[in-house]
Amino acid sequence: AQKVTQAQTEISVVEKEDVTLDCVYETRDTTYYLFWYKQPPSGELVFLIRRNSFDEQNEISGRYSWNFQKSTSSFNFTITASQVVDSAVYFCALIRDTGFQKLVFGTGTRLLVSP
Amino acid sequence: EPEVTQTPSHQVTQMGQEVILRCVPISNHLYFYWYRQILGQKVEFLVSFYNNEISEKSEIFDDQFSVERPDGSNFTLKIRSTKLEDSAMYFCASSGADQETQYFGPGTRLLVL
């Protein structure tokens, strides 16, 4: 069975602080994909990044960076110099690479960035 | 940029009534999905659909639920007799041939009274 754990329920920071959102996953599959989605207050789910299990290189996109470590089954997400617009719920998710695929989501981390 | 659309954005219904939630997936996508999110909780998979048939469904997706692709563009979720516990945000998603990334619609917020 697959499982995604986001232990941080809510994080509050002040603008310009850096913040890291943790994600730990469990799977028996050797090939899989990991995702982060953002859910702003308006409610939609916005795709941020996909990572496959064979690519452990860290990725940076502007103020966002992701650290994938297979040895600890973690896929953490860091926002540098946070902004108020980053306030949202962030979901980490996992999908297997074989067969028909369904996303397995974590419970989400609510990030509040105050001015 | 192509996107998934959903209608209506909000729906209020009485318990026992039938509702149909509509989705227009991204036009060249082949795989379609419904997920739901009860308020404040995580997003849960309901069903996936490919080649005009259900490919996988969760325990939540019981006989009260059905999906259909009535034409080349729409993908619908029907709840035959709504219950209070069906109140949730329902998301449609679609993915291309590689199935790797699912793109979500804005959701339909369903409230059953």
Q: pLDDT tens for residues A97-113?
A: 766 678 999 999 999 99
Work out the pLDDT band at A86, boundaries 50, 70, 90.
very high
pLDDT value at residue A98: 66
Chain B, residues 46-65, CB within 8 A of chain A, namely 48, 50, 55-56, 58
B98-110 pLDDT, tens digit each:
767 889 999 999 9
Among candidate residues B21, B45, B27, the one with its CA nearest the CA of residue B35: B45
Provide, as residue numbers in chain B, all residues whose Cβ is less than 8 Å from the Cβ of A52.
100
Structure tokens at B36: 């739901």
Kindly tell me the sign of the dihedral angle through the C-alpha atoms of A102, A103, A107, A112.
negative
A107: left (phi > 0), else alpha (psi -120 to 50), else beta? alpha
- Of A96-105, B18-27, B65-74, B84-93, the range with the lowest mean pLDDT is A96-105
- Looking at per-residue confidence, does B73 or B34 come out higher? B34
Mean pLDDT calculated for residue range A59-81? 93
H runs (alpha helix) in chain B: none
| pLDDT for the residue A56 | 82
pLDDT at A57 over 70: yes
Q: Does A108 touch chain B (CB under 8 A)?
A: yes
Tell me what the pLDDT averaged over chain A comes to: 92
A73 vs A76: CA distance, rounded Å: 10
Question: Chain A contacts of B31, Cβ < 8 Å?
Answer: 100-101
Residues 57-76, chain A, touching B (beta carbon < 8 A) = none
CB contact at 8 A, A40 and A86: no
A30 pLDDT above the threshold of 90:
no
Nearest to B104 among A45, A50, A101 (CB): A45
Question: Average pLDDT of A5-23?
Answer: 97
Q: Is A89 on the interface with B (CB under 8 A)?
A: no
Coil/strand/helix, residue A72: helix
Tokens 């679609």 map to which residue? B94
**Residue A99 has what pLDDT?**
62
Confidence of residue A48 (pLDDT cuts 50, 70, 90): very high
